[in-house]
Structure 1
Amino acid sequence: MRHRFVLAALSAGVLVLAGCGGGDSGTTGSGPGGLSVPKIDKLASLGAGEGEVNIVSWAGYVEDGSTDKAVDWVSDFTKETGCKVNNKVAATSDEMVTLMKTGEYDVVSASGDASLRLIYGGDVAPVNTDLIANYKDVFDGLKNKQWNSVDNVAYGIPHGRGANLLMYRTDVVKPAPTSWSAVFDANSPYKGKITAYDSPIYIADAALYLMKTKPELNIKNPYALDDTQFKAATDLLTEQNKLIGEYWSDYTKEVQSFKAGNSVIGTTWQIIANLAQADKAPVEAVLPTEGATGWSDTWMISAKAKHPNCGYLWMNHIISPKANAAVAEWFGEAPANKLACQQTSDKSFCTTFHADDEAYFQNIWYWTTPIAQCLDGRTDVTCKDYSAWTQAWTTIKG
């Protein structure tokens, strides 16, 4: 479990970019910042495998037993299809985009901040989901979303999802919190023992809270903030900074901090809560009434794929019930395939990660890279882009 989460941390901190607009498959349409979707045809029919497939992935997504002999969903794929898997682990979305632009890779497990860049850059092709038998069993809540499609044209295959939660020590924080106000209240009794995720994207958590509690700000999307909305969110975080004991990005430090009592309440992931509980820390994690931010990743096929058939075969395999269940448990996230829940070794896994709870995920705002063209559809104002968020985060932390 500990090793699994080290891998998860590499991906879960990656931001998800959601865009707007687009055209039908093979046509040109408008997108973020006035970008257009290049005309690229999707694969019309599936042929014989080419013998290999070159993949760019997040650590933990393509396991062949070399990390742990018991963790292997690649060998069966090669045996069944004859496609040898050559995998390149990428550390960042920027690296994924750079690698895919070379045309040397067939498939990528892109997070959203990479996915729309790849789509509008002409680096990936629309996906013919009719050629992927297991696609029919993917949760509807992950299909045709802003980070994996344009105008309902699929450009990728959903992999999984997760939410950012509020964790607290049950022996200290009473009554049990139900709102993010527990970490934003300037008069919090837990001053100095509040923790928060260390990333500019955490500004969205503040914006989400304000969206629910300050309707006069008219925030419709926590990643689409004009000057006034952005100032309100950053002002809130500047005040919160006075309450923060420490910011976290390393999961081991958050687990130990909660176990020692140095932190008693703050943002977390379900897998962190599980690890803390396994270490006998008296903690619980909840989805607050305002909802939360979260993430989702997507398998995409290169527009220049040299091995498109093996690429399609891989995408079908990785979301098959058995493989998707294995990845989800190893990585620590909800699987994309609804039938995967029958294949997990821990029969309560999907319940713990809310895999089939669409009502739960309707309250999740997936991490979104802010752009100047407001992602909520407004055209009469300019929104703060991610560079502004990065600068503001540096100022907030002092």
Structure 2
Amino acid sequence: MNSMFRRLVLAAACTIGAGAVLAFAEGGGDLVVFDWSGYEDPLLHAAYTAKNGAEPTFAFFGDEDEAFEKMRAGFKADIAHPCSQSVSKWRDAGMLQPLDTSRISGWKDLNPGIMAMKNLATTDDGKTWFMPFDWGNTALLYRTDNVTPQEAQSLRIFADPKFKGRVTIGDNVDDAYALASLVIGLKDWTGMTDQQFKDASDFLRQVHKNIRLYWTDSTDIDQAFSGNEVDLAWGWGQTLIAMTQQGVPIAMNRDTKEGMSTWVCGYVLMKDAPGKLDQAYDFLNAVNAPDVSKYMVTAFGYGHGNGAGMAAIDQKVLADRGYDDLGKFLDKTLFQQPVAPELKKRMIDEFEKIKAGY
């Protein structure tokens, strides 16, 4: 990254307010990607680096609400990586610019089932705001040496006093309320009533009594499992793969009595991005390349947005990950779709109280 652009990025970071810290992985290029930790993996955007001669610069966030507030406070990025429940909020706040899909190779190969999800990628005016990149689930992970398969049949295990100090869930309001919504029998949280909100929040307060830590990225949860600090986690497929490779006795139950949560995340183009637009589209082309699909599935445990790339993967590999049938994947799950702004604010405020012990 040239020195002038680095100063601009750091100056923007300084404007986000005291106590708010941005982590960077400097790559040398002008492009700034605001992302989840772990997605700076060079193998996810190899074509970008080959063309531009340098890695993008990555800045990281813990969840999309944190990212939203940092950008609203002045931090500038070219590209960001929100999930389905946040796209409309970011768009309505004027943070995004529409994508020129003619500049994205393989756009027609994006998974048609994901692209058809209402108000996700394209709005009624025909403008496109979101390129699906990864999709997966949040489900019950457990150490098989400390938890039996019979115990792990219900998500209510997270509140079982037997596991006091042995539980971790994400410091992520969407995943937290997805867990609580499932437990109270709610598969569509968009119509959550006041009583359901109270019941869900009460369950999270019970879980809080068992919490060892609220994890913020894959390193936190992986270290907690590998160090035998926790027995239970509400987490993602990446942890299952990482811990299995390390020999940690772990399993994921995607078929609990209450079900699991599903999500779709992807890349958006930020309005007034400080970098070069050509590089932004180079990045989008790189991460959408069909040869990224197998790496995404095998290394991260997630599905890839490029349907053509997914179709080329051995069906047994896809079936083992649960990604061989998108319709089946979404069936009987809570899909993290956008909720009304007032409900989202209630969730954010209440989750902060719960974590503080109130």
Q: Which amino acid aligns with 1:355?
A: Y
Report 1:70-149 matches (<5 A).
72-78=46-52, 86-91=56-61, 93=64, 94-95=66-67, 105-112=77-84, 115-145=87-117, 146-149=119-122
Q: CA deviation at 1:138?
A: 1.7
Distance in 1 of aligned mates of 2:300 and 2:227: 26
Residue pair 1:162, 1:353 contacting (<8 A) in 2 also: no
Greater shift in the superposed pair: 272-281 or 111-120: 111-120
Q: Which amino acid aligns with 1:235?
A: D
Q: Which residue of 2 aligns with 1:273?
A: 240
Distance in 1 of aligned mates of 2:312 and 2:38: 18
Name the Cα RMSD after superposition. 4.0
The unaligned stretches of length 5 or more in structure 2 are 1-28
* Structure 1 pair 209–119 and aligned structure 2 pair: CA distance change class (3 A): same
Q: Which amino acid aligns with 2:350?
A: W
Residue pair 1:193, 1:265 contacting (<8 A) in 2 also: no
* Structure 1 pair 204–392 and aligned structure 2 pair: CA distance change class (3 A): farther
* Structure 1 pair 168–86 and aligned structure 2 pair: CA distance change class (3 A): closer
Distance in 2 of aligned mates of 1:291 and 1:57: 31
Report 1:215-230 matches (<5 A).
219=186, 221-222=188-189, 225-230=192-197
Q: Among residues 34, 44, 52, which one is paired with 1:57 in the alignment?
A: 34
Residue pair 1:144, 1:154 contacting (<8 A) in 2 also: no
Q: Which amino acid aligns with 2:157?
A: A
* Structure 1 pair 119–85 and aligned structure 2 pair: CA distance change class (3 A): farther
Q: Among residues 123, 127, 132, which one is paired with 1:150 in the alignment?
A: 123
Distance in 1 of aligned mates of 2:232 and 2:322: 22
Q: Which amino acid aligns with 1:225?
A: M
Structure 2 residue 158 is matched with structure 1 residue 183: yes
Distance in 1 of aligned mates of 2:39 and 2:163: 39
Residue pair 1:295, 1:366 contacting (<8 A) in 2 also: yes
TM-score, length of structure 1 as denominator length: 0.64
Q: Deviations over 1:187-208 (max 9, x none)?
A: x7x4436514043441331122
2:204 is paired with a residue whose SS is helix
Distance in 2 of aligned mates of 1:103 and 1:183: 36
Which structure's residues are more often helix, by fraction? 2
2:265 is paired with a residue whose SS is strand
Q: CA deviation at 1:153?
A: 4.7
Q: CA deviation at 1:148?
A: 3.5
Residue pair 2:263, 2:335 contacting (<8 A) in 1 also: yes
Q: CA deviation at 1:299?
A: 1.7
The unaligned stretches of length 5 or more in structure 1 are 1-51, 212-218, 375-382
1:159 is paired with a residue whose SS is strand
* Structure 1 pair 302–198 and aligned structure 2 pair: CA distance change class (3 A): closer
Distance in 2 of aligned mates of 1:134 and 1:349: 23
Distance in 2 of aligned mates of 1:261 and 1:313: 42
Distance in 1 of aligned mates of 2:199 and 2:319: 36
* Structure 1 pair 123–235 and aligned structure 2 pair: CA distance change class (3 A): closer
Q: Which amino acid aligns with 2:288?
A: I
Q: Which residue of 1 aligns with 2:140?
A: 166
* Structure 1 pair 90–176 and aligned structure 2 pair: CA distance change class (3 A): closer
Computing the radius of gyration over CA atoms, which structure comes out larger, 1 or 2?
Answer: 1
How much identity, in percent, do the aligned residues show?
A: 16
Distance in 1 of aligned mates of 2:180 and 2:75: 39
Q: Which residue of 1 aligns with 2:215?
A: 249
Q: CA deviation at 1:249?
A: 0.6
Report 1:232-381 matches (<5 A).
232-242=199-209, 244=210, 246-249=212-215, 251=218, 254-255=221-222, 257-258=224-225, 263-287=230-254, 288-304=256-272, 307-326=276-295, 331-341=300-310, 350-358=318-326, 359-367=328-336, 371-373=340-342
Q: Deviations over 1:234-257 (max 9, x none)?
A: 222333445x25244165564465
Q: CA deviation at 1:125?
A: 2.7
Distance in 1 of aligned mates of 2:297 and 2:222: 21
* Structure 1 pair 292–64 and aligned structure 2 pair: CA distance change class (3 A): closer
TM-score, length of structure 2 as denominator length: 0.70
* Structure 1 pair 237–391 and aligned structure 2 pair: CA distance change class (3 A): same
